Structure 1
């Protein structure tokens, strides 16, 4: 057995580092672990912590190519984060002018969820636990 114990991090590449840094730290409230300028790559690397210990790595690169994204395209579909109070989370997003889709109910679990996007259009999900 390989011995997987969980997800350590998810890596994201952004088109505008300042805008995405603000979104993930101020709007979503993730804590900064480390912020590193990598001169040889002309790239920032921002390590962010979620409360459960999972990390997001936010990278910037000069002129990253667009990644086509369609709802049923092969590959990463969306990034889902757990929240205990979906209504409070939605109010917080609205306070920061971040639009979310209408709340849906997971027909398999009965839990409420919704989607919104980061500054680069990456689909993010809030899933009420």
Structure 2
């Protein structure tokens, strides 16, 4: 018995339209399905990355804020592989997304940096 891969990561957003735009238009994720669940007053947007992994984007009425700083226990961030951290960071900045300075992973020697989604969820770019 073994795990094969990460299938999806689920994210709850505060502003569905802003987050949908961010993940589809800025990050370029493909929409697989979009459903409105009236009984929950909730949208569920299934998004795909090129490797087949997915992000499920949910909206719920009045979700509580995510503790972030100081770093809270639990999931720390979501990291994306990119061919060039520098080029993708420049693209994000041209798109109006603030990006931290690029750093080098002390163990792998690879560049990485962080940015945030519209709700402040920490996202990482990591050079493949």
Compute the TM-score of the two structures, normalised by the length of structure 1: 0.96
1:95 matches 2:91: no
CA-based RMSD of the aligned residues comes to 0.9
1:6: which partner in 2? 5
Q: Give the 3 Å change call, closer, same or farther, for CA 71–103 of structure 1 in structure 2.
A: farther
Q: 1:19 Cα deviation (Å)?
A: 0.2
State the secondary structure of the residue aligned to 1:10. Answer: strand
Structure 1 portions without partners, runs of 5+:
none
1:76: which partner in 2? 75
Partners of 1:58 and 1:51 lie apart in 2 by: 17
Q: 1:97 Cα deviation (Å)?
A: 0.5
Q: 1:72 Cα deviation (Å)?
A: 3.4
Are 2:86 and 2:102, in contact at CA under 8 Å, matched by a contact in 1?
no
1:46: which partner in 2? 45
Structure 2 portions without partners, runs of 5+:
none
Are 1:25 and 1:31, in contact at CA under 8 Å, matched by a contact in 2?
yes
Alignment of 1:8-23 (within 5 A): 8-23=7-22
- How many residue pairs get aligned? The number is 128
Deviation >6 Å, runs of 4+? none
State the secondary structure of the residue aligned to 1:94. Answer: helix
Are 1:71 and 1:77, in contact at CA under 8 Å, matched by a contact in 2?
no
